[in-house]
Structure 1
C-alpha cells in the first residue's frame, strides 16, 4: 500500500511547486504519494481548519511548511491528528508576532499591493537569487510567483493569523505535551526566509521543547532545490518506527 503525505503549503503555494518532488518520488519509487492540501476559499479560520482537517485526516504523515506549520498546530490545539506523525519544515510560528512581513500585511490594501509588486521581474529575480540554492528556469519562476496572485486564501491569512491567535494557542497547547506527540521540526541551514530562532521562540511560548533536525545544505524550499534528497528524507521519516 502506498503511504500518503499530506503537504500543508505556505503562502502563495501552487501545486506546480511540487512537480520536481513528485517526479523524483516516481523515478526513485520511494513509496509515497504527495498530496497538496488546498486551502480554498474558506470564509473564516474555523472553516479553513475544518477543510484542512478533512484533507489531512488519514494521511500517514503531515508535512507543513511556512505558514502551514501554524495551521497544523491550530489543528493539534483542537485535539485533532494527535496520532499522526508530522513534520514542520521552516514553519512560521511564534515569530508571526514580531516579523515585519505579517505586520505589513495586516495594513489595508497591503496584500493586494504585494501581489502587484511581486509580479515585477526584478523583484522576482532578486527573490530567486536570495532564497533558492540552485538556478531555476524562467518558466518555473513565472509559475512560482503566479501562486501569490492565484492563491485564494492569501489575503485572508493575515486577518486570521494574528498575535491573538497565538495567545489562544498558548492556552490550548501549554502544559499538554501529548498534543505535540509525533511532531518534529526540520530546518535548512541555508533557510533565509525563516530562521531557527522561530523554533526557540515557539518552545518558550509553549513551555516545552520540540524535536528538531537540521539539514545544513537545505534552503527554505528543499522540495524544489534538492528534490531527490528531500523525497529520500521524507521516505525515511515514513519508514521510521512510530
Structure 2
C-alpha cells in the first residue's frame, strides 16, 4: 500500500522547506507532496481567504487533486500549517485518512508572549522584514537553526519571508476565539509530534492541543528543534513516513 503524505508548511515561507525531506523517503510506499498556501512563497494572496477555514478548504482542494484509488492520504501540518490542518480535520474529517500535527499553533495563545507581541500590524511587518534581511541572517541562523542546516536551504527559508503576503494575517485569524470554537477531532487517527528541544513552540503545549485531539498519540522526538525538516531531513523523512504508515494501518492504536 502506498500512503500519500501532504505537507502543509508553517508561516513565513512555503512548501520549499520540505524539499530535502522528499529526497530521503525510505521507499516507494510513501508519496510525499507539498505546496504553497495562497499568499506564501510569492503566490498571490486570496482576498476571499479571511479566516482559517478558507485556508483549510484550500488544503482540501489539494487533497482532492492528489487522491488516487485505494491510496490513503495523511496530512502533515507544521506550525500554522498544523493549525490549518486541524481546522480542516475538525470540520471535514472525511477529507483525510490521518493527521500528523507537528508543533501546531493554537494552545495558550492568550498567555504566550510572542502572540501578544505580534498583535499589531506594524510589529508583524517589522519582524517579517527583519527575518528577510540578508545582513541579519548570521544571527537568525543561530536562533532558528541551532543544530545547523545548509546555507542554501536557510537562504531559501529566509527569502520566503520577503515574499510572504499572508504572514501578518496568520496572527489575526489564528486566535483564541478560533481555537476555542474548534470541535474536537475524534473520527481520525492523529499524532501530535514535537521536538524535545523546540524553542519556538515548546512541547509542553501538547496538553493544550490534546483538548482538541483527545485520542491523539503523542510523540516527542529527542534532538529535534523546530525545523527538523531542514536540520535533519533524513531522520524527519523516516519518522513521518513511519508515523503515517502506522496511522492508516493501525488507526485505533
3-state DSSP of counterpart to 1:24: coil
* CA separation of 1:98 and 1:81: change in aligned 2, threshold 3 A: farther
**TM superposition score normalised by structure 2:** 0.81
* CA separation of 1:138 and 1:234: change in aligned 2, threshold 3 A: closer
Written as runs of structure 1 = structure 2, the 5 A alignment for 1:213-232 is 213-232=219-238
Deviation of 1:13 (Å): 2.3
2:166 corresponds to which of 130, 153, 158: 153
Rounded Cα–Cα distance in structure 2 between residues aligned with 1:237 and 1:138: 29
Rounded Cα–Cα distance in structure 2 between residues aligned with 1:135 and 1:208: 34
Alignment of 1:52 onto 2:56:
no
Deviation of 1:121 (Å): 4.4
Written as runs of structure 1 = structure 2, the 5 A alignment for 1:1-242 is 2-25=2-25, 28-40=26-38, 41-43=45-47, 44-45=50-51, 46-57=53-64, 58=67, 60-81=73-94, 84-121=97-134, 123-169=136-182, 172-173=183-184, 178-179=186-187, 181-203=188-210, 205-206=211-212, 208=214, 210-240=216-246, 241-242=249-250
* CA separation of 1:139 and 1:233: change in aligned 2, threshold 3 A: closer
Deviations 1:23-52 (A, max 9, x none): 222xx4353232224321233224322212
* CA separation of 1:47 and 1:94: change in aligned 2, threshold 3 A: same
Where does the alignment leave 5 or more consecutive residues of structure 2 unmatched?
A: 39-44
Deviation of 1:148 (Å): 1.3
Rounded Cα–Cα distance in structure 1 between residues aligned with 2:74 and 2:6: 6
Q: Contact (CA 8 Å) 2:132, 2:160: kept in 1 or not?
A: no
Q: Contact (CA 8 Å) 1:5, 1:35: kept in 2 or not?
A: yes
Rounded Cα–Cα distance in structure 2 between residues aligned with 1:30 and 1:229: 17
Rounded Cα–Cα distance in structure 2 between residues aligned with 1:147 and 1:34: 21
Rounded Cα–Cα distance in structure 2 between residues aligned with 1:152 and 1:52: 18
Rounded Cα–Cα distance in structure 1 between residues aligned with 2:226 and 2:195: 6
Deviation of 1:154 (Å): 1.4
Where does the alignment leave 5 or more consecutive residues of structure 1 unmatched?
A: none
Rounded Cα–Cα distance in structure 1 between residues aligned with 2:147 and 2:209: 30
Rounded Cα–Cα distance in structure 1 between residues aligned with 2:35 and 2:109: 22
Q: Contact (CA 8 Å) 1:30, 1:235: kept in 2 or not?
A: no
Deviation of 1:7 (Å): 0.4
Report the number of matched residues. Answer: 233
Deviation of 1:122 (Å): 5.8
* CA separation of 1:101 and 1:139: change in aligned 2, threshold 3 A: same
